[in-house]
Structure 1
Amino acid sequence: MSIQLSLLMLVVLHASSADSSCPGINNGEFEDLTNLMRKITCQSGGISEKPAFLATLTPREVALTSGSVVKFDSILTNIGNGYNANSGVFTAPRKGTYQFAVSFVSGHRNNEWLELTLAKNNNRLVRGHAALDPFASGSLQATLALEKGDRISIIQPRPSGHVLAADNGYTDVVDVLLEFNAGADTETIKGMTPLHFAATNGHDEVVMTIIKNGAYIDAQNFQGNTPLHLTTLGNFRHIIEILIQANCDINIANNRQQTAIHVAVENGFQESVEVLLAGGANLSRREKLGKTPLQLASRGSFVAIVDMIIKAERYYAVTREYMEQELDYVDPHQYLRTPKHPSSTQMKDILWKLATKQLKPGDWKKLAVHWKFTSDHIRCIEHQYTGTNSHREHGFRLLMIWLHGVRKDENVIKLLFEALVAIDRRGLAEQMRGKSEARSPKVCMGKMCAMC
């Protein structure tokens, strides 16, 4: 929406002064007192003339966004210095009755209603419109009783039609307006585009329509949030998938230095975290307070999310190597929750017994170091407290995260045997191997056998 030519004019019809009659004072005495007061006002720098100003727009065409103040930058007259061209605001220098008149012409590419509103102290009072045509003219007038210090401005009060349609999920309306060249990236005063509104409210069809019409997918609003940030805040997993498939930048940070995965983790949105992890979200990025996504998950006691992030950090590259498809096209739920090893179902029972009945309290940390878990991984697993036997839960979580990263062609029992020997638990290692050999006919799976 743009404005081609505009003129703002003020004429003061009446400014308050003393009454022309006063009990106990004759007219001559009153006139003498009035003249004396005027002299004192002039000598002290006060206002001796009625305020008035005339201002126009210098640029040939000015783009307007919702809530923006029209700044008439070329001042032709400014008696009383009440009008500020930098802010576009007139401040009443004294109490009185003021008359305002505004005329305007829409831009040459105008394809929607141009509306301007006169506001007093940010309260909208009078509206003027220009028709849905290029170079359409409009005007507004107002006569107002103002107190000293009251502020008058001219603003563009409403978002454009397709922004409203996107906000409310009207796919057909958005489609028609975009077809008639309504800007796909039109912004409100807060930098919100139609795509921001559609993503915020979970309107997936509108999101796809706007993207199809060439919208800038990574536009940032006044808080630095992209459509991906806002749809993540709403936990709209399906729209996150749409935006990732449309090649949005998944790692853009907002004003709090948070990427979309920081937002998802901070709110405990497990499904959104899954999709963002599978899409390749950067897990080393720190937000404004210096926290990584893993540390945010730990602070929020989101145990499942902590485990998912550790899995992604440790095994993302490995998983890409032996999966037949690119990770971007793998179901995130399957990738992050289900180990890929053929014997994972049988191993779950073995690992549960190992963690809860056979490992000593400090053994799980030794295994973590042997398997090259980071100190941050260990701290975040240990953050969960379930009582004096918390080490059992910690140990089982560690073992399951480790199992998740074992390749399909690796011998799980052999790897576990080697790890137990490395932490000086050879007796337990031999015991486990002996039992597994006795059970091997039941779990043998050919080349992928966990026990052979």
Structure 2
Amino acid sequence: MKSIYRAREMVREKVSVLQGENGEDGLAVLKAQKMLHTVNGVVQNVKNWNGPDKNADTSHETLLQKEMEFHIAAKENNVEKMTSLKGQKININSRNNLNRTALHFAVAKNNLNAVTFLLNHKARVDIVDKHGLTVLHLAAWSADLNIFQKLINAGASQKSATEDGMNVLHFAAQHNKLSIVDYILTELQLKDLNVGDKKGKKPFHLAAENGHLNMVSKLVDLNLFSPDKDKDGNTALHLAAKKGHSDLIGTLLNLFEDIDQPNEIGATPFYLAIEGKHIECGDLLLQAGSNINAATHDGRGALHIAAENGLKNMIHFLIDNNFDIKPNPNDKNPPLHLAIRRNFIPIVDVPSNDVEDNEDEIDTDKDLPSDLDQIPNYMTKENVPPESGHDLNDDDTGRKISSSTKAKPNYMEIVDVLMERGCDLNAVDTRQQTALHLVAEFNNIDLVQKLLKSGHCDLTIADKQGKTALKVAARSNNTLIVDMIIKAERYYTWKKECQDDPDNQKEFQDSLIDFKQDHSLQTRRLREALWKLAYNELRSHGWKKLAQVWLFTEAQLKAIEEEWTGQASYKEHGHRMLLIWLHGALLKDEYPNKIVYEELTKLGKRRIAERFRKHSTGDTFFKNCTIS
């Protein structure tokens, strides 16, 4: 393969020499060019057979060594080197595999001396790279007015557009080239360049999107303000809000009558500001009258964004500004559900492929367009202005953030904040499941405890499959959560009975109730006695008889029996039932020993009752025990 490359270079050198000696139409030149085409065909066939050469410098693959050096000299503004190489009869219009010439690189680097040298030696200004980018586009992007004027005087096409539909006015507005915009519109009178690109963005959109306040003012003065929407339905106000350009928002607010126009997905500028984590922009829009409760077509509001992305301060900001936290019946995923799901289903960062495998994508971490060899396509995504030096992976302080080291939000804190600020715990998602359904499904004991202690969970709500949170927990085989929910059901049933009784003055503090397993020393002897009762004394249906006396529901008994099967499973079932009952008895300030003894006696189990009394001796009647 290397020998074929060398042969091709020898033929190219011969073609270059013959062109210098005989001119473009010489017979010798035609023969040499025909031979070069043949060699190129052989090279391409061999490459196709062997696959891509990963070690090849793909950016300069089609250049001779001296032509490569000439391109590098143009980038470095090394006119002395360029003069030396030009004396060796190199082709100053030689192109790399992306169809870029030395003039492309000199202009991109704003190298006035190199550009002047190339233009004086008749460098072509009409060559378009593989993406439609001309040297005049690059001048409007990153050069100064002097270079731009030189290219105009050299005959560069003023109205050509890239494959993305961008012309010189787009580039100049996008990169805040005030003098070039003024020259285009006042000297060249090219106001017909004020059109939308293939994304529907006019120069005014691009200036606003990139936060160029002076450019926006310049375009307004030149009567090029555009209230139009791009193909995504975004106005300039949408684009500025999305990027967090708070210094520009005030100016744009004076230009737009309707500041709550929705885009194609129904997002308003305020929604996009929140989505971009820009509180300051959001605040400015609210002060101007934006609707804080505006939602997209799929029912997502600003609070959904804040909850899903773990933005605690944003949640406080929204609720402090009277965001309506009442559940929407058409809400597919309420904010609380989103936070819970994000806590248990982390988002995995997918690593990007190498540049050589994605030649049509932009690397936004690069300073564009100075390093054109490394950026095969600088048009397919939103660009970083060359002068900005801003990295999309910087945080608000300018510190670099790696995708592998970014701090992950604490979604448990987000759940706490949403609960504290009054979000409805009984809101349901598309499966008709509440937050408790989700948490039971994810088997998180601590979060189940928080929800149950809130006192606001409706434990009777069933999802689309007819399952309550208790049934979901039972199907998930988490006995601890099943027992916690049954304890809560029995506690809140008793609480309601007390509150319905006008003679009952008992005060309840739900936040102090613990629905987890009891491991306290105060109840240890009694719990041991209950274990012996369940495992050594009661028969297969004995525990159910006690459960029925103590008003356990059929659903609760089925949930207990869901886990553990076999001939001896009733022992574990009975033990769990007794501990659940004990939890409620202690909350009611009852005498657990006495109650168990009496109920066993009523069932004709006098001997078992006596043995239970002996096992629990030392803690008689247990009046003062409390559950932790």
Task: Place the TM-score, normalised by the shorter chain, in its bin.
Answer: 0.5 to 0.7
The answer to which structure has the higher helix fraction is 2
Partner of 1:326: 509
Partner of 1:316: 492
1:285 to 447, 450, 461: 461
- The answer to whether residue 592 in structure 2 is matched with residue 412 in structure 1 is yes
| Secondary structure, counterpart of 1:336 in structure 2 | coil
CA deviation profile, 1:237-269 (whole Å, cap 9, x unmatched): 433333333333322333332222223223333
Pick closer, same or farther for the CA change 1:405–1:221 going to 2, 3 Å: closer
| Larger displacement relative to structure 2 (261-270 or 210-219) | 261-270
Partner of 2:152: none
CA contact (8 A) 1:283 1:313 kept: yes
- The answer to whether residue 477 in structure 2 is matched with residue 301 in structure 1 is yes
Shift of 1:374: 0.9
- Structure 1 distance, partners of 2:311, 2:329, is 18
- The answer to whether residue 439 in structure 2 is matched with residue 264 in structure 1 is yes
1:434 to 608, 614, 618: 614
CA deviation profile, 1:387-428 (whole Å, cap 9, x unmatched): 442222111111110111013532111011122223332211
One-letter code aligned to 2:414: I
| Secondary structure, counterpart of 1:406 in structure 2 | helix
Shift of 1:377: 0.8
CA contact (8 A) 1:406 1:412 kept: yes
Partner of 2:230: 117
Partner of 2:324: 216
CA contact (8 A) 1:229 1:260 kept: yes
CA contact (8 A) 1:340 1:407 kept: no
Partner of 1:32: none
One-letter code aligned to 2:595: L
- Structure 2 distance, partners of 1:100, 1:430, is 85
Pick closer, same or farther for the CA change 1:127–1:213 going to 2, 3 Å: closer
Pick closer, same or farther for the CA change 1:225–1:158 going to 2, 3 Å: closer
CA contact (8 A) 1:116 1:156 kept: no
| Secondary structure, counterpart of 1:355 in structure 2 | helix
CA deviation profile, 1:120-169 (whole Å, cap 9, x unmatched): xxxx6x986467234449xxxxxxxxxxxxxxxx9646845554554465
| Secondary structure, counterpart of 2:229 in structure 1 | strand
1:354 to 533, 542, 559: 533
Shift of 1:325: 5.3
Partner of 2:568: 389
Pick closer, same or farther for the CA change 1:127–1:406 going to 2, 3 Å: closer
One-letter code aligned to 1:389: A
| Secondary structure, counterpart of 1:116 in structure 2 | coil
Pick closer, same or farther for the CA change 1:290–1:221 going to 2, 3 Å: closer
One-letter code aligned to 2:596: L
CA deviation profile, 1:32-88 (whole Å, cap 9, x unmatched): xxxxxxxxxxxxxxxxxxxxxxxxxxxxxxxxxxxxxxxxxxxxxxxxxxxxxxxxx
- Structure 1 distance, partners of 2:336, 2:325, is 9
CA contact (8 A) 1:186 1:193 kept: yes
Shift of 1:182: 4.2
Shift of 1:177: 5.3
- Structure 2 distance, partners of 1:394, 1:367, is 12
Partner of 2:581: 402
| Secondary structure, counterpart of 2:432 in structure 1 | coil
- Structure 1 distance, partners of 2:301, 2:579, is 44
Partner of 1:205: 313
CA contact (8 A) 1:268 1:297 kept: yes
Partner of 2:368: none
| Larger displacement relative to structure 2 (315-324 or 416-425) | 315-324
Partner of 1:133: 253
Partner of 2:524: 345
The answer to which structure has the higher strand fraction is 1
One-letter code aligned to 2:319: I
What does 1:148-167 align with in structure 2 at a 5 Å threshold? 156=264, 159-160=267-268, 162-164=270-272, 166-167=274-275
CA contact (8 A) 1:298 1:383 kept: yes
Higher RCO (Cα < 8 Å, 6 or more apart): 1
CA contact (8 A) 1:342 1:448 kept: no
Pick closer, same or farther for the CA change 1:155–1:371 going to 2, 3 Å: closer
Q: TM-score, normalised by structure 2?
A: 0.44
One-letter code aligned to 1:414: K
Pick closer, same or farther for the CA change 1:308–1:171 going to 2, 3 Å: farther
CA contact (8 A) 2:529 2:615 kept: no
- Structure 1 distance, partners of 2:264, 2:602, is 71
CA contact (8 A) 2:300 2:331 kept: no
Shift of 1:430: 1.3
Identical-residue share of aligned pairs (%): 32
Partner of 1:243: 418
Question: What CA RMSD, in Å, does the superposition of the two structures yield over aligned residues?
Answer: 4.0
Give ranges in structure 2 of 5+ residues lacking alignment.
1-197, 206-210, 212-225, 238-250, 344-410, 499-504
Partner of 1:228: 336
Shift of 1:382: 0.5
| Larger displacement relative to structure 2 (352-361 or 159-168) | 159-168
- Structure 2 distance, partners of 1:127, 1:164, is 10
CA contact (8 A) 2:327 2:427 kept: no
| Secondary structure, counterpart of 1:395 in structure 2 | helix
| Secondary structure, counterpart of 2:528 in structure 1 | helix
Aligned length: 316
CA deviation profile, 1:205-256 (whole Å, cap 9, x unmatched): 2212211111011253864332223223334443333333333332233333
Shift of 1:181: 4.6
| Secondary structure, counterpart of 2:563 in structure 1 | coil
- Structure 2 distance, partners of 1:336, 1:163, is 40
| Larger displacement relative to structure 2 (226-235 or 278-287) | 226-235
- Structure 2 distance, partners of 1:100, 1:210, is 32
Higher CA-based Rg: 2
- Structure 2 distance, partners of 1:404, 1:426, is 24
- Structure 2 distance, partners of 1:325, 1:255, is 34
- Structure 2 distance, partners of 1:359, 1:353, is 9
Partner of 1:194: 302
What does 1:61-100 align with in structure 2 at a 5 Å threshold? none
One-letter code aligned to 1:198: A
CA contact (8 A) 2:534 2:572 kept: yes
CA contact (8 A) 1:319 1:405 kept: no
CA contact (8 A) 1:268 1:302 kept: yes
Q: TM-score, normalised by structure 1?
A: 0.59
Pick closer, same or farther for the CA change 1:429–1:348 going to 2, 3 Å: same
CA deviation profile, 1:352-397 (whole Å, cap 9, x unmatched): 2222222222222222112111111111100102544222211111
CA contact (8 A) 1:298 1:306 kept: yes
